[in-house]
């Protein structure tokens, strides 16, 4: 039986391979990786990590730019959707009927409409149509939002040696805080005296940070976006496609995460809460020591899967023109070179790596939880 | 034993007035504490800010009369539902049927028949559900092809490339589910098989498709499928997308079915083995029927995901519901009314997805209580 | 009378009752579950409450540590009246131990951590002190060797004994037992009952909701029979079992003893 299936599968793959090779020959396409070092004849507008230069950047560099841009939107999206998702999930369980129902409506609307539709809706119908031109940007302090995207100030290092000194002092502060926490924990175990050590640490760190920052004469400068003739110059820029994609991915994914959070918290049984009350724990102790640890075990695994989904979904950027891997590699580069086989395979490998990485993390987490469970 | 006296039951009193009734409900759910009251006020204020203007735009000032854009251009304060009304046939059935109104009865009949079969399937008490299901999965597709594709009984042919709008979305999703179901069942059995090679092949297949975003698979299907087959064989774009979707969906279906197989008691398999049943008979008559019943909610959930994901075909240029509404709103006649187009498409998607997810949730609850009772 | 005013210390000169319940009425929605309950519990007294399911017996003891909120009447525990004041509720809860039907141990904490959690965070004991106390009590319930395990790794009987130890770690003045053996297999019921008998012998004040009439006969100072949210009859075990006054009690006893 096994042998039969194996032969059938190998025969199938082999025959596909053969026809593919003959088809490629017929069309005069030579499959090779030699195009990697060719100069890419198109422009990539957004490449914050690698310098793009038209006429100099090669295909393989385009591939790297694509990966980095995918990672950027993934990290931005994971951060924002986790924050929003947890807020909505907790509001869903609010004792306030109105708040809870609003969270329910949010969840049910946004997870039941295709993500692509949402991306296009926000990008084309809302942001492009309603955001003002650069000259009339919406301002939040030094942050500007307009039809070209979001512009923020970014810090840069002015004086290298004083910056290093600042980092060094901060590091010392962190070490001090760690030692202090350890001492406090030990002291707590011995005497039962509890101190608000987190607040102490926060105060110590921030005062050290600010004080040394001014004493060193401000080692960081901020590059503030300035309105030029057509658009803002300087500062950090999130081009509108990235902004819309981020917005839509956040809303879509947060609806799923909110549902995970709700399910996780509801999974903590009533008996657990009654037991916590019956031994005299107050509300915040009960939430911190009984509900959250148990809820997190239910929330974390599906939420990690949502992070992977978000990363895969970021490939929908093609629709609005954000330059991540599918858009610049499986899209433009493929059209330019015709090297479908290699390019698609590389794209798939990138995603498979991410998904393997995710399942690795998930397995690790499950093993850790299992040890403490039975 | 001495004589006993009769038990005198005290009359039931109704609770003190303040703990039941509408006012008590409002107090408990909206104003039970200071934070609760504040939340209620905040939400009411948000409603006051946004709800009236939205309702005014969408309903009270909206345009629905007339047959061209002049009426909408004259009243910009309201939504332009005239656009949806005029282009309704095109949005639902695509350009071919919109251009040949005498043929519209064909997709209408096909979709109505589907709805007619679906309604009793969803109702709990319908007898012979299995046969209805079987009819839907085997005979109905043939009827659908005869009606919509045509070519038989003097019905003119409408090629798959001429399908569009909701009809295409439906066809893609439906093909995806009926072809992926048998494939997915085989893969799920393979993944739980005791033969290592078969298990390895199934795992590789499932994880490969699950790790890759659908858009990459659609690119692959549209660019690489022609390479895989001898040069005489040609598929049109729609069929290529269908193949990609089926391969993709079968991996997800397999995982849903596997969940059901895992939930079935081991004893069931052992009992039927003891009766001397072979592998296939055991699976087909004993295990699979039970496993499939349990996995219906998760299969429906993967189907919801698929239904939303069919919108990705608009990236490879097919005119599904999303792309059709976008194209229509970018035509000269209706340029500028894209919000209405997106909202309409989103609404249609939402109705189906929300309906299916409510159904699968209620089914899940039912299965859950059934198992608890057992 | 409902008294939602500030707590007042009720001082009775001679041997004050540790729990004093007056005209207690409670509703679940429109359903009247407890009707005009009057009950006084003296120090070191052991009371067994029995009755058919739905008679309100669990609800009654859950009112005592405010897991349920009553609408009318008053409950005074150790001189403090139960009101909406959260601080007072927590104080009373830390003085009243409770054991549940389904154990309700915290699955993410070890047996030892289950026991030391409240002493450390509520009683502000040092960890070493709390550990010592917990080990002492775990030895008393005869499972000191399981201290490092998680609840999921223990049998039902062991879990219930941990739950008793957890409650005792707060050094409560009163212990409430809500059908502590109903979820257990017969051989495990015995080990839990033995632990409870030992506890009773040590002089703890106990309120036990149970159907274990053997336990009632052996340990109880008073047996209370409840039905339809009322206390139908209360008596010492001998008279309760031999000379029930109400025909409702008689019927219940015949059902529970003859099977």
Question: pLDDT tens digits, residue range B227-249?
Answer: 777 766 677 888 889 999 999 99
* Contacts with C118 from chain A: Cβ below 8 Å: 279-281
* Contacts with C25 from chain B: Cβ below 8 Å: 13
Residue % of chain C over a pLDDT of 70: 93
- Other beta carbons within 10 angstroms of residue B186's beta carbon come to 14
Q: Kindly state whether residues A69 and A210 are assigned to the same domain.
A: no
* Contacts with B15 from chain C: Cβ below 8 Å: 27, 29-30, 32, 71
Comparing alpha-carbon positions, the chain A residue that sits nearest to B321 is: A117
Neighbours of chain C (3+ CB pairs under 8 A): A, B
In tens, the pLDDT along A324-336 reads 999 899 888 888 8
In tens, the pLDDT along A229-240 reads 777 777 778 888
Q: Kindly state whether residues A364 and A251 are assigned to the same domain.
A: yes
Binned at pLDDT 50, 70 and 90, residue C177 comes out as very high
- Counted domains in chain A: 2
Q: Kindly state whether residues A173 and A283 are assigned to the same domain.
A: no
The residue with greater pLDDT, B309 or B289, is B309
With 0-12 / 13-18 / 19 or more C-beta atoms within 10 angstroms meaning exposed / middle / buried, residue C257 is: exposed
Distance, CA of B309 to CA of B349 (rounded, Å): 11
Q: What is the pLDDT of residue C13?
A: 45
* Residue A193 lies inside a defined structural domain of this protein: yes
How many angstroms away from the CA of B34 is the closest CA of chain C?
15
For residues C29-56, average pLDDT: 90
* A315–B314 CB contact, under 8 Å: no
Is C90 an interface residue toward A (CB < 8 Å)? Answer: yes
Q: What is the pLDDT of residue C63?
A: 92
* Residue A276 lies inside a defined structural domain of this protein: yes
Task: Closest CB to A99: pick one of B43, B223, B226.
Answer: B43
How many angstroms away from the CA of A186 is the closest CA of chain C?
9
Q: Kindly state whether residues A250 and A118 are assigned to the same domain.
A: yes
* B39–A99 CB contact, under 8 Å: yes
Highest mean pLDDT among B194-203, B315-324, B341-350: B341-350
Is B1 a residue whose pLDDT tops 50?
A: no
* A278–C102 CB contact, under 8 Å: no
* Helices and strands in chain C: count of H runs, count of E runs: 9, 10
Binned at pLDDT 50, 70 and 90, residue C100 comes out as very high
Interface of A with C (CB under 8 A): 188-194, 269, 271-272, 274-283, 285, 289-290, 293-294, 297, 372-374
ipTM of the predicted structure?
0.87
Is B167 a residue whose pLDDT tops 60?
A: yes
* B6–C246 CB contact, under 8 Å: yes
- Other beta carbons within 10 angstroms of residue A345's beta carbon come to 13
Taking a C-beta distance cutoff of 8 angstroms, is the pair A282, C86 a contact?
yes
Domain region containing A198: 154-223
Binned at pLDDT 50, 70 and 90, residue A310 comes out as very high
Distance, CA of B79 to CA of B66 (rounded, Å): 14
* Contacts with C32 from chain B: Cβ below 8 Å: 12-15
- Other beta carbons within 10 angstroms of residue B245's beta carbon come to 26
* Contacts with A118 from chain B: Cβ below 8 Å: 346
* A116–B198 CB contact, under 8 Å: no
Is C234 an interface residue toward A (CB < 8 Å)? Answer: no
Q: What is the pLDDT of residue A273?
A: 93
Is B32 an interface residue toward C (CB < 8 Å)? Answer: no
Binned at pLDDT 50, 70 and 90, residue A78 comes out as very high
* Residue A25 lies inside a defined structural domain of this protein: no
How many angstroms away from the CA of B21 is the closest CA of chain C?
10
For residues B212-224, average pLDDT: 87
* C71–B16 CB contact, under 8 Å: yes
For residues C229-240, average pLDDT: 90
Taking a C-beta distance cutoff of 8 angstroms, is the pair B72, B63 a contact?
yes
Q: What is the pLDDT of residue B63?
A: 78
Distance, CA of A199 to CA of A322 (rounded, Å): 41
Is B35 an interface residue toward C (CB < 8 Å)? Answer: no
* Interface A-C: count of C-beta contacts within 8 A: 88
Q: How high is the mean pLDDT of chain A?
A: 86
How many angstroms away from the CA of A159 is the closest CA of chain B?
45
Neighbours of chain A (3+ CB pairs under 8 A): B, C
Q: Kindly state whether residues A281 and A133 are assigned to the same domain.
A: yes
For residues A256-261, average pLDDT: 94
Binned at pLDDT 50, 70 and 90, residue C7 comes out as very low
* Contacts with B9 from chain C: Cβ below 8 Å: 228, 230
Task: Closest CB to A272: pick one of C104, C121, C125.
Answer: C104
Q: What is the pLDDT of residue C254?
A: 86
Residues 54 to 113 of A: which have CB under 8 A from any B CB? 94-99, 102, 108-109, 112-113
Is B349 a residue whose pLDDT tops 60?
A: yes
Task: Closest CB to B7: pick one of C30, C71, C227.
Answer: C227
For residues A255-280, b (16+ Cβ closer than 10 Å) or e, as one string? bbbbbbbbebbeebeeebbbbbbbbb
Residue % of chain A over a pLDDT of 70: 98
Distance, CA of C78 to CA of C9 (rounded, Å): 9
For residues B13-42, average pLDDT: 80
Residue % of chain A over a pLDDT of 90: 33
For residues B31-53, average pLDDT: 87
* Residue A10 lies inside a defined structural domain of this protein: no
Residues 227 to 266 of B: which have CB under 8 A from any A CB? 227-231
How many angstroms away from the CA of A151 is the closest CA of chain B?
26
Q: How high is the mean pLDDT of chain B?
A: 82
Boundary (domain end) residue, out of A168, A194, A223: A223
Binned at pLDDT 50, 70 and 90, residue B183 comes out as very high
A256, B133, B175 from B138: Cα distances, Å: 34, 9, 11
First to last CA, chain C: 42
Q: Kindly state whether residues A163 and A116 are assigned to the same domain.
A: no
* A116–B311 CB contact, under 8 Å: yes
Is C9 a residue whose pLDDT tops 50?
A: no
How many angstroms away from the CA of C71 is the closest CA of chain B?
8
* A312–B231 CB contact, under 8 Å: no
* Residue A288 lies inside a defined structural domain of this protein: yes
- One-letter-per-residue 3-state SS of chain A: CHHHHHHHHHHHHHHHHHHHHHHHHHHCCCCCCHHHHCECCCCCCCCCCCCCCCCCCEHHHHHHHHHHHHHHHHHHHHHHHHHHHHHHHHHHCCCCHHHHHHHHHHHHHHHCCCHHHHHHHHHHHHHHHHCCCHHHCEEECCEEEECCEEEECEEEECCHHHHHHHHHHHHHHHHHHHHHHHHHHHHHHHHCCCCCHHHHHHHHHHHHHHHHHHHCCCCEEEECCEECCCCEECCEEEEHHHHHHHHHHHHHHHHHHHHHHHHHHHHCCHHHHHHHHHCCCCHHHHHHHHHHHHHHHHHHHHHHHHHHHHHHHHHHHHHCCCCCHHHHHHHHHHHHHCCHHHHHHHHHHHHHHHHHHHHHHHHHHHHHHHHHHC
Q: Kindly state whether residues A71 and A170 are assigned to the same domain.
A: no
Residue located via tokens 């007072």: C88
Binned at pLDDT 50, 70 and 90, residue A251 comes out as very high
* Residue A340 lies inside a defined structural domain of this protein: yes
Task: Closest CB to B227: pick one of A24, A326, A351.
Answer: A24
Is A296 a residue whose pLDDT tops 70?
A: yes
Distance, CA of A92 to CA of C169 (rounded, Å): 36
Which range, of A66-70, B139-143, B187-191, B204-208, averages the lowest pLDDT? B139-143
* Contacts with B342 from chain A: Cβ below 8 Å: 117, 120-121, 124-125
How many angstroms away from the CA of A68 is the closest CA of chain B?
17
* A319–B220 CB contact, under 8 Å: no
For residues B136-165, average pLDDT: 78
CATH, residue A64:
1.10.3720.10
* Residue A6 lies inside a defined structural domain of this protein: no
Residues 26 to 45 of C: which have CB under 8 A from any A CB? none
Q: What is the pLDDT of residue B147?
A: 78
Residues 205 to 234 of C: which have CB under 8 A from any B CB? 227-230, 232
> What domains can you pick out in chain B, each with its CATH number?
159-367 (1.10.3720.10)
Comparing alpha-carbon positions, the chain B residue that sits nearest to C240 is: B1
Binned at pLDDT 50, 70 and 90, residue B371 comes out as low
Binned at pLDDT 50, 70 and 90, residue A9 comes out as confident
Closest Cα partner for A113 from B111, B81, C242, B305?
B305
Is B126 a residue whose pLDDT tops 60?
A: yes
Task: Closest CB to B4: pick one of C71, C227, C246.
Answer: C246
For residues B91-104, average pLDDT: 79
Q: Kindly state whether residues A57 and A163 are assigned to the same domain.
A: no
Q: Which among B15, B17, B19 is the top mutation candidate for probing chain C, defined by the most C β-carbons within 10 Å of its own β-carbon?
A: B15
* Residue A22 lies inside a defined structural domain of this protein: no
* Contacts with B36 from chain A: Cβ below 8 Å: 95-96
In tens, the pLDDT along C123-153 reads 888 888 899 999 999 999 988 899 999 998 8
Q: Kindly state whether residues A66 and A125 are assigned to the same domain.
A: yes
Q: What is the pLDDT of residue B265?
A: 64
Boundary (domain end) residue, out of A197, A223, A249: A223
Q: What is the pLDDT of residue A374?
A: 45
What sign does the dihedral A330-A335-A339-A340 (CA atoms) show?
A: positive
For residues C187-207, average pLDDT: 91
* Contacts with B6 from chain C: Cβ below 8 Å: 246-248
For residues C174-188, average pLDDT: 90
Binned at pLDDT 50, 70 and 90, residue B374 comes out as very low
Residues 47 to 66 of C: which have CB under 8 A from any A CB? 65
Binned at pLDDT 50, 70 and 90, residue B20 comes out as low
Q: Kindly state whether residues A354 and A288 are assigned to the same domain.
A: yes
Is B23 a residue whose pLDDT tops 50?
A: yes
Is A199 a residue whose pLDDT tops 50?
A: yes
Q: Kindly state whether residues A197 and A109 are assigned to the same domain.
A: no
Q: What is the pLDDT of residue C258?
A: 65
A48, B70, B146, B339 from B343: Cα distances, Å: 34, 21, 32, 6
Residue % of chain B over a pLDDT of 70: 95
Is C214 an interface residue toward A (CB < 8 Å)? Answer: no
How many angstroms away from the CA of C49 is the closest CA of chain A?
20
Comparing alpha-carbon positions, the chain C residue that sits nearest to B20 is: C29
* Contacts with B4 from chain C: Cβ below 8 Å: 244-247, 249-250
Q: Kindly state whether residues A131 and A280 are assigned to the same domain.
A: yes
Neighbours of chain B (3+ CB pairs under 8 A): A, C
Q: What is the pLDDT of residue A215?
A: 81
The residue with greater pLDDT, C240 or A25, is C240
């Amino acid at each position: 039986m096994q042998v039969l299936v194996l032969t059938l599968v190998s025969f199938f793959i082999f025959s596909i391979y053969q026809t593919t090779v003959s088809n490629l020959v017929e069309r005069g396409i030579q499959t090779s990786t030699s195009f990697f070092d060719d100069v890419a004849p198109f422009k990539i507008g957004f490449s914050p990590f690698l310098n793009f230069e038209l006429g100099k950047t090669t295909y393989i560099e385009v591939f790297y730019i694509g990966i980095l841009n995918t990672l950027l939107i993934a990290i931005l999206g994971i951060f924002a959707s986790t924050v929003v998702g947890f807020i909505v999930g907790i509001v869903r369980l609010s004792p306030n009927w109105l708040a809870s129902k609003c969270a329910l409506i949010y969840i049910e609307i946004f997870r039941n409409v295709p993500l692509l539709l949402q991306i296009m809706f926000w990008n084309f119908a809302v942001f492009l149509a309603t955001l003002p031109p650069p000259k009339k940007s919406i301002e939040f302090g030094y942050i500007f939002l307009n039809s070209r995207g979001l512009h923020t100030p970014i810090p840069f290092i002015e004086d290298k040696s004083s910056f290093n000194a600042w980092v060094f002092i901060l590091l010392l502060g962190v070490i001090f805080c760690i030692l202090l926490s350890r001492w406090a924990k030990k002291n707590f175990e011995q005497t039962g005296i509890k101190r608000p050590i987190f607040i102490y640490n926060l105060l110590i760190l921030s005062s050290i940070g600010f004080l040394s920052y001014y004493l060193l004469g401000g080692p960081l400068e901020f590059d503030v976006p300035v309105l030029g003739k057509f658009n803002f110059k300087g500062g950090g820029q999130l081009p509108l496609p990235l902004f819309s994609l981020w917005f839509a991915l956040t809303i879509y994914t947060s609806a799923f995460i909110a549902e995970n959070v709700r399910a996780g918290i509801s999974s903590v049984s009533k008996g657990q809460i009654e037991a916590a009350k019956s031994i005299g724990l107050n509300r915040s102790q009960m939430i911190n020591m009984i509900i959250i640890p148990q809820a997190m075990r239910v929330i974390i695994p599906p939420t990690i899967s949502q992070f992977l989904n978000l990363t895969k979904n970021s490939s929908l950027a093609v629709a609005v023109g954000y330059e991540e891997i599918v858009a610049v590699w499986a899209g433009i580069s493929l059209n330019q070179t015709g090297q479908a086989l290699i390019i698609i395979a590389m794209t798939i490998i990138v995603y498979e790596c991410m998904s393997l990485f995710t399942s690795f993390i998930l397995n690790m987490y499950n093993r850790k939880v299992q040890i403490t469970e039975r | 034993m001495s004589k006993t006296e009769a038990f005198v039951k005290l009359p039931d009193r109704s609770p003190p007035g303040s703990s039941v009734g509408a006012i008590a409900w409002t107090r408990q759910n909206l104003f039970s504490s200071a934070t609760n009251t504040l939340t209620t006020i905040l939400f009411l204020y948000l409603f006051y800010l946004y709800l009236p203007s939205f309702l005014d735009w969408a309903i009270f000032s909206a345009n629905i009369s007339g047959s061209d854009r002049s009426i909408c251009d004259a009243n910009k304060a309201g939504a332009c539902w005239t656009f949806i009304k005029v282009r309704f046939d095109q949005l639902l059935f695509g350009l071919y049927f919109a251009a040949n109104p005498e043929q519209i009865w064909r997709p209408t009949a096909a979709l109505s028949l589907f709805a007619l079969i679906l309604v009793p399937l969803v109702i709990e008490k319908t007898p012979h559900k299995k046969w209805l299901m079987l009819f839907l999965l085997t005979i109905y597709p043939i009827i659908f092809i005869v009606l919509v594709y045509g070519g038989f009984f003097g019905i003119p042919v409408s090629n798959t490339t001429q399908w569009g709008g909701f009809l295409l979305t439906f066809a893609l999703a439906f093909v995806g589910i009926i072809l992926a179901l048998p494939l997915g069942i085989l893969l799920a059995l393979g993944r739980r098989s005791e033969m290592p090679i078969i298990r390895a092949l199934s795992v590789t297949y499932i994880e490969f498709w699950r790790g890759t975003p659908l858009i990459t698979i659609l690119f692959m299907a549209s660019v690489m499928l022609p390479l895989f087959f001898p040069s005489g064989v040609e598929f049109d774009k729609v069929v290529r997308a269908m193949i990609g979707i089926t391969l993709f969906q079968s991996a997800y279906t397999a995982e849903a079915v596997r969940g059901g197989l895992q939930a079935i008691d081991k004893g069931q398999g052992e009992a039927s083995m003891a009766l001397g049943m072979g592998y296939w008979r055991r699976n087909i008559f004993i295990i699979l029927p039970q496993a499939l019943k349990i996995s219906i909610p998760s299969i429906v959930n993967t189907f919801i995901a698929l239904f939303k994901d069919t919108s990705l075909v608009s990236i490879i240029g097919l005119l599904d519901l999303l792309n059709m509404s976008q194209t229509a709103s970018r035509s000269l006649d209706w340029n500028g009314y894209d919000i209405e187009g997106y909202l309409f498409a989103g609404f249609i998607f939402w109705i189906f997805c929300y309906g299916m997810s409510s159904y699968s949730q209620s089914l899940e609850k039912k299965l859950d209580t059934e198992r608890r009772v057992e | 009378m409902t008294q939602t005013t500030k707590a007042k210390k009720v001082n009775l000169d001679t041997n004050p009752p540790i729990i004093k319940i007056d005209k207690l009425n409670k509703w679940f929605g429109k359903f009247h579950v407890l009707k005009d309950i009057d009950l006084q519990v003296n120090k070191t007294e052991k009371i067994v409450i029995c009755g058919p399911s739905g008679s309100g017996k669990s609800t009654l003891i859950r009112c005592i540590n405010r897991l349920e909120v009553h609408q009318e009447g008053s409950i005074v525990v150790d001189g403090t009246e139960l009101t909406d004041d959260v601080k007072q509720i927590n104080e009373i809860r830390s003085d009243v131990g409770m054991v549940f039907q389904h154990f309700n141990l915290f699955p993410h904490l070890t047996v030892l951590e289950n026991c030391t959690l409240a002493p450390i965070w509520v009683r502000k004991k040092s960890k070493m002190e709390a550990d010592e106390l917990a080990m002492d009590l775990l030895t008393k319930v005869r499972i000191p060797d399981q201290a490092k395990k998680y609840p999921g790794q223990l049998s039902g009987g062991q879990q219930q004994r941990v739950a008793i130890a957890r409650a005792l770690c707060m050094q409560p003045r009163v212990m409430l037992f809500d059908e502590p053996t109903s979820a257990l297999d017969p051989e495990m019921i015995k080990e839990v009952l033995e632990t409870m008998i030992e506890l009773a012998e040590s002089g703890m004040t106990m309120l036990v909701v149970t159907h274990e009439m053997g336990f009632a006969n052996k340990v109880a100072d008073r047996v209370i029979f409840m039905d339809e949210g009322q206390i139908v009859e209360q008596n010492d075990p001998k008279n309760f079992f031999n000379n029930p006054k109400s025909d409702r009690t008689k019927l219940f006893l015949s059902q529970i003893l003859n099977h």
